[in-house]
């Protein structure tokens, strides 16, 4: 079972993400990042690659695509906050 990140684990897991452009969502225990691409096809291709990992790990992002931008919000709904799954998926999609 997935657990909400503890105070002790938040810094080591989230600080590297914050340094890479992720930010806390105001009023929620969630993280968000905007990705920009050359065009819609590049954005959609990236979303497809991210979706494969999300499905494999059974952890799906909340996201929105407008032309060449994809806004990704990560939260573990089962714990109503951030978990290790969010940090893991954020690291993976940053590398795509």
Pick the CATH number of 7-95 from 3.30.1360.20, 1.20.1250.20, 3.65.10.10, 3.40.50.170: 3.30.1360.20
Average pLDDT over residues 16-23: 98
Instruction: Tell me: pLDDT of 1 over 90.
Output: no
> Domain residue spans in the chain?
7-95
Average pLDDT over residues 11-25: 98
> Which H helix or E strand runs over 6?
none
**Predicted confidence (pLDDT) per residue in 72-84, tens digit:** 999 999 999 999 9
Find out whether 25 and 72 touch, Cβ atoms under 8 Å.
no
Q: What is the mean pLDDT of the chain?
A: 97
With a CB cutoff of 8 Å and minimum separation 6, the contacts of 29 are 4, 75, 80, 81, 82
Could you write out the DSSP letters of every residue in 12-80?
HHHHHHHHTT-EEPTTSS-EEEEEE-SSHHHHHHHHHHHHHHHHHTT---EEEEETTEEEEEE-BGGGT
pTM here?
0.95
């Amino acid at each position: 079972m997935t657990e909400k990140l503890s105070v002790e684990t938040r810094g080591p897991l989230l600080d590297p993400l914050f340094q890479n452009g992720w930010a806390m969502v105001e009023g929620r225990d969630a993280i968000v990042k905007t990705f920009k691409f050359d065009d819609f096809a590049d954005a959609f291709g990236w979303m497809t690659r991210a979706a494969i990992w999300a499905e494999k790990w059974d952890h799906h992002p909340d996201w929105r695509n407008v032309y060449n931008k994809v806004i990704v919000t990560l939260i573990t709904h089962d714990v109503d906050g951030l978990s290790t799954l969010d940090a893991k998926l954020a690291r993976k999609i940053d590398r795509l």
